[in-house]
Amino acid sequence: MSDLPPAPAPGAILEAAIYASDLDAAEAFYGDLLGLTRMFRHGERHVFYRVGAAVLLVFNPSETEIPPGADALPVPPHGARGPGHVCFAMEDAEITAMRSRLEAAGVAIEQDFLWPNGARSLYVRDPAGNSVEFAEPALWAG
């Protein structure tokens, strides 16, 4: 690959996608429980949330696997089956508050621990089985 021109390294992740077949349950979890701001929903195909400067895309895989129609945007078909993963950046006190909220809502805490570098991570599952992590940004510092 040495004959390739230099790669312009991306500066941030603009969007991340997870997949859920029940968008109503996804909205109850990400919007109502986690408090993310819903940008918009398109029927049973997807619902998008603002997360700081980024966007969380929640797609229904049975809908996004369908090729776009002639009058639609030319987004290639895509989809995933099985649990995915998303991690939200939060400070320790915010993670503690989120844990209390999740427990009050009956969401099982999968793990809550400190990494070797001292950063905290809290793991739960969303209604589709995706792994949802809340972690201190120090996890990836340095």
Give the CATH fold of the 15-66+81-140 domain: 2,3-Dihydroxybiphenyl 1,2-Dioxygenase; domain 1 (3.10.180)
Q: How many residues make up the chain in this entry?
A: 142
What is the pLDDT at residue 108?
97
pLDDT tens column, 4-28? 888 888 888 999 999 999 999 999 9
Distance CA 32, CA 137 (A): 24
Across the chain, what does the average pLDDT equal? 93
Tokens, residue 74: 């030319």
Locate the domains of the chain by residue range: 15-66+81-140
What is the pLDDT at residue 72?
82
- Please identify which residue in the block is written with the tokens 């639609």: 72
Closest CA to 83 of 28, 21, 27, 36: 21
| CA dihedral sign of residues 80, 85, 99, 113 | positive
Contacts of 120 (CB under 8 A, 6+ apart): 92, 95, 112, 113, 114, 135, 136
Asked if the model's pLDDT at residue 1 lies above 70, the reply is no
